[in-house]
Amino acid sequence: MNATQPDEQSIRRRLQAVGQEHLLTFYPTLAPPQQRSLLAQIADLEIEALPALVETYVRNKPAFSLPANVQPAEYYPHDPASPRRPWDRDHFRAVGSRLLKEGRVAAFVVAGGQGSRLGYEGPKGCYAAGAVSGRPLFGMFADQLVAAGRKYGRPVPWYIMTSPLNHEATVRFFEENAYFGLDRANVMFFPQGVMPSLDMATGKVLLAAKGEVATNPDGHGGAIKALCVSGALADMKRRGVEHLSYFQVDNPTVKVVDPVFIGLHAAAPDSTGQMSSKMTPKAYPEEKVGVFCNVNGKTEVIEYSDLPMELQRQRLDDGSLRFIAGSIAIHIISTAFVEKLGTDPSFSLPYHRAEKKVPHVDLATGNLVSPQTSNGVKLEKFIFDALAMCDSAAGRGSIVYETDRIEEFAPIKNATGVDSPETSRELQTQRAARWIEKAGGRVPRGTDGKPQCVLEIKATTALEAEDLKGKPLPDIRPGESVLL
């Protein structure tokens, strides 16, 4: 918020100049503290930038033009012995483990989203995701960090990006849960920025209440700026953190820190060490995930809606999809890269337009309207757009590493159907079943091969399959729910 209190007349003049003076419609009816608050909120918007944003993203929809020479991105295959690109997993695991032991890696979760598709009240990280335990997402990640702290002999700092809309509730949740066993000195919260939500028909900024501008978090891409302005980056540098293990709040099976991935990012001969990505192979051509591509030597994610279906259906001689590398929003980002971008005055990520239902005050009646169909445009930045800003020269660039869907991608996005709590529970169970069987245990499976039980392995029991070996394994009967 601005240090000096903005005055009504100057704000009104600035709003009039850009056709947004309706934001002061109810100003005369507000009590003085609400009036001051409203003026401060408006002063925090980049008012003069609004007409160009409205023209580009509300009155028009930016057209995507496919680069002429788009190629599939190269990647490190999950199987290091794969003839398509053999690599030394043990070496990179050793490099990543050393970086973790030296305290050079922090976990970084982006948790500022609104989770509107799930329809859960409150920060999504509080959602009870554990297949058996019902442990909240934040608790499941914390368990991994507790286990990683033991494994690597020092705590892994954890940075949590919230938004102004859920910051307090998030911090309160950690307080109420005693930081899930973590030392609170190693858990840092910082809010991302917001953008005004715009009326889809007119481009006018919506009012959430008579004295409150409707805003939305500015997307996970807002992380770069938020890391810099919040002091989080400075804190990382003080602690000697060089690499951020970036993940989203809605994936309970993500490896919060993965030594192999960290090692590849930091030491692979073709990696700049700036920003690296994990992918899972697309299950079928029409699957709605962004795809890692190579454009003029740069790794980029092209959204499924922007990549022509003809390309998405192309297959290699072995029958696999040519554009196979689906983005699962897991990255390693170096602090030096964040600083390079964040201190560059010309740095900005593009906005993406999303049409959403935005509750707002009707300017004529003053009543709150809860729309049934999309009425608003939200502008968001995406973190993967920073990939194109990585250096690419002398055979080095931003690398991609293939992982296995069952091992680490069980996202909770929707209330039902695809990527829902139910599919996440199934995937958590499939992973646990796999680990138990690898360790010599037995899991009841149906004729379709699916486990006939619900399983969950706590991160403090095993961070990966190998950790289960030698541990006592339960006798699991069909229909049982088992927490290890």
385 binds ligand UTP (CB under 6 A): no
Which of 110, 160, 198, 443 is in the footprint of ligand UTP by CB under 6 A?
110
**Residue tagged 């961070």 (tokens):** 463
| Dist. CA 258–CA 152, nearest whole Å | 12
Q: Does 276 bind ligand UTP (CB under 6 A)?
A: no
What whole-number distance in Å separates Cα of residue 172 and Cα of residue 388?
37
Member of 413, 425, 431, 458 binding ligand UTP (CB under 6 A):
413
Q: Could you tell me which stretch among 77-85, 114-122, 288-296, 440-448 binds ligand UTP (CB under 6 A)?
A: 114-122
Find the binding residues for ligand UTP in span 391-410 (CB under 6 A).
none
Bridge partners, 194 (sequence order): 217
User: Distance between CA atoms of 217 and 244, rounded to whole angstroms?
Assistant: 21
Stretch that binds ligand UTP, among 2-10, 20-28, 202-210, 245-253 (CB under 6 A): 245-253
Give me the phi and psi of 68, to 5 degrees please.
Answer: -60, -35
Least Å from the CB of residue 221 to ligand UTP: 8
Site for ligand UTP contains 380 (CB under 6 A): yes
Q: Could you tell me which stretch among 4-12, 113-121, 137-145, 471-479 binds ligand UTP (CB under 6 A)? A: 113-121
**By CB neighbour count within 10 A (0-12 exposed, 13-18 middle, 19+ buried), where does 383 fall?**
buried
Q: What letter represents residue 454's amino acid?
A: V
- Which of 143, 199, 242, 250 is close enough to bind ligand UTP by CB under 6 A? 250
Q: Taking Cα atoms as reference points, which of 176, 238, 165 lies closest to residue 208?
A: 165
Closest CA to 331 of 430, 264, 240, 238: 264
Binding to ligand UTP by residue 217, rule CB under 6 A?
yes
- In whole angstroms, the minimum distance from the beta carbon of 467 to ligand UTP comes to 26
- 355 beta partners: 377
Determine the interface stretch with ligand UTP among 179-187, 244-252, 295-303, 393-401 (rule: CB under 6 A).
Answer: 244-252
353 scored as a contact of ligand UTP (CB under 6 A): no
Distances (CA, A) of 215 to 2, 195, 399, 479: 17, 5, 35, 46
333 near ligand UTP (CB under 6 A): no
423 binds ligand UTP (CB under 6 A): no
Strands 243-248 and 325-334: antiparallel
Q: Is 245 in the site for ligand UTP (CB under 6 A)?
A: no
Close Cβ partners of 251 (under 8 Å, ≥ 6 residues apart)? 328, 329, 330, 408, 409, 410, 411, 412
Is the Cβ–Cβ distance between 484 and 458 less than 8 Å?
A: yes
Q: What token pair was written down for 412?
A: 């909770």
- Quick one: which of 219, 185, 160 has its CA closest to 350? 219
- Residue with CB nearest ligand UTP? 113
Between 87 and 120, CB nearer to ligand UTP: 120
Of 130, 196, 203, 219, the residue at the interface with ligand UTP (CB under 6 A) is: 219
Q: Is 117 in the site for ligand UTP (CB under 6 A)?
A: yes
CB of 133 to ligand UTP, least distance (A): 21
Where along the sequence are the contacts to ligand UTP (CB under 6 A)? Answer: 110-117, 124, 161, 192, 217-220, 222, 248-250, 380, 413
